[in-house]
Structure 1
Amino acid sequence: MYSPINIKRSSKFGNNYWEAYSPKLKRNVRLFSDLEYDFWVLVETDPKIFTFCERPFEVKYFNKNNKVLKTFFNMWVKWRNGHEEFIVVKYSTNVTSTNIKILEQWCQEHKKNFAIRSEINIRGNTVLLENMKLLLPYLSNRSHPIDTDLYVIKQEIQRNKHSVGYLEDRLSIGSSRIKEAIFHLYSKGIIDANLHCIPFGRNLEVWINE
């Protein structure tokens, strides 16, 4: 397990500084770019990801003037299947920088998995990203929805997938509680939904995860 490297919020970050509560980690995370924030949203809401750490590790190296410099990974991620990656989050125009090459080399030498995430990966699916930004406050504001809401929704979709509109018409618990329960069940990996292609609404379909 890793702990985040503390760095000062310098003026160069400007309005790109984010601090948000992580339901997965049960603590606040600090992020230093809009792209990092969007990537964190996808990590935080992915039920296949078990845990993560922002700025988990620092690598020291010598520049051409023999001066010691430091660089760090933006995130370490561990999936529920045990797979781990050290990840650099950069815009596609900066993916060939010296810092990234240093970090990739460190991973090769230490037999760690290395990955780069750019705006192409992170923001390529705007429907998914917007759905996850909608989901996140529901995970943060309440640790557990009403148990009976979870039960009746699971019962309704036990055999067949159904739309949110179907559940709203059939159940008498209100659309906001249905949304909260669906987001909770999705985040726990109990149900799945076509959130990657349909904005959350009456047309979204949900089903029990096999």
Structure 2
Amino acid sequence: MNFDKPVDMTRATHYGNNYFEVYSRKLKRIVKLFSSLEYANFLTLEMNPFVGKFCEQPLEIEIILEDKPKKAIFDFWVLYSDKREEMQEIKYLNELNEIDEKSSRSKEQIRRQKLWCEENKISHIIRTDKDIYAGRFYIKNLEYLAAKSRRYIPLEDNFYRSLVLNTLKATKKITISDMVKFEILPIGHEMDYISYLYYEGIITMDIATRPIDGKMEVSLWQINH
């Protein structure tokens, strides 16, 4: 499957409580998101080097249940770099655990999606706020990194990338402040370049449990060891 263009939706037709339009470097287009949780999930996809591409609101399906046509729209389609695909539904955990009309509506939507995915042999994943907010600082840090890397085009990338790779191969870990001190990052664009390398899957940091500052330690992604 391949989805490049989202289903045309107006804000009034969606149950989300916030609306975002944000440029995706990975997709090279504006992405429209209908809740703060969808926006947070977008950040996890945009900044995940193992995600090749994705599409928000990719498909409206129609299946027959109880002899009646029923419709549903997925929140995300994801294609990973290893060619795995999945459809994602984004929900707050308490919305699935409550016993009320909204919860019943969500469960029915998920039921339709799962049946369609089973018929079409594609994985169906429910991602809740518990899954998406992987740590106290995770989404806020991803938002910072995404904003810094979104339109940044590094100059002398080969030169500085070589400096970073050689340093990290020798030291295993180094703080951002030391990277600045030893001038292995472009002067004046240090955090832009850090964010760019994270986006590219060259470096990793413990962004889940602490804020990004000079004391943050940087290491190589395992795939680049």
TM-score, length basis structure 2: 0.83
Q: For residues 139 and 183 of structure 1, do their structure 2 counterparts lie closer, same or farther at Cα, with a shift above 3 Å needed?
A: same
Q: What's 1:120 paired with?
A: 130
1:194 to 206, 210, 215: 206
- Residue of structure 1 in register with 2:30 after alignment: 28
Select between 6-15 and 54-63 the one with higher mean Cα deviation: 6-15
> Are residues 1:182 and 2:194 paired?
yes
Task: State whether structure 2 residue 186 is matched by structure 1 residue 159.
Answer: no
User: RMSD of the alignment, in Å?
Assistant: 2.3
Instruction: Tell me the CA shift for residue 204 of structure 1.
Output: 1.2
| Structure-1 separation of matches of 2:27 and 2:14 | 27
1:20-47 CA-to-partner distances (Å, cap 9, x unmatched) read 1010000001111111011101111111
Alpha-carbon deviations, 1:97-125, whole Å to 9, x = none?
Answer: 10111101111121110100111111242
TM-aligned CA distance change 1:14 to 1:33, over 3 Å: closer
Secondary structure of the residue that 1:141 maps to in structure 2?
Answer: coil
One-letter amino acid matched to 2:130: I
Matched, 1:143 2:153: yes
Contact 1:145 1:180 in 2 (8 A): no
Q: Identify which range, 72-81 or 119-128, moves more after superposition.
A: 119-128
Change (3 A) 1:18 1:115: same
Instruction: Give the structure-1-normalised TM-score.
Output: 0.88
> Aligned in 2, Cα 1:120/1:176: closer, same or farther, shift over 3 Å?
farther
Assess, with a 3 A threshold, how the Cα gap between structure 1 residues 153 and 177 changes in structure 2: closer, same or farther.
farther
CA contact (8 A) 1:51 1:77 kept: yes
SS in 2 for 1:157: helix
Letter in 2 for 1:127: F
Q: Quick one: structure 1 residues 126 and 176, their matched pair in 2 at CA, closer, same or farther if it must change by over 3 Å?
A: farther
Equivalence map 1:1-210=2 (5 Å):
1-2=2-3, 3-10=5-12, 16-62=18-64, 68-95=69-96, 97-147=107-157, 148-160=159-171, 161-171=173-183, 177-209=189-221, 210=225
Q: CA deviation at 1:55?
A: 1.1
- The 2-side partners of 1:114 and 1:176 are apart by 44
Q: Is the 8 A contact 1:149 1:178 kept in 2?
A: no
Residue 11 of structure 1, CA deviation: 7.2
Question: What are structure 1's unaligned runs of at least 5 residues?
Answer: none
Query: Partners of 1:157 and 1:50 in 2: how far apart?
Result: 25
Answer yes or no: is the 8 Å Cα contact 2:174–2:218 preserved in 1. Answer: yes
Distance 1:33 1:114 in 2: 20
Q: Residue 152 of structure 1: CA displacement?
A: 3.0
- Distance apart, 1:176 and its partner CA: 5.2
Amino acid at match of 2:120: H
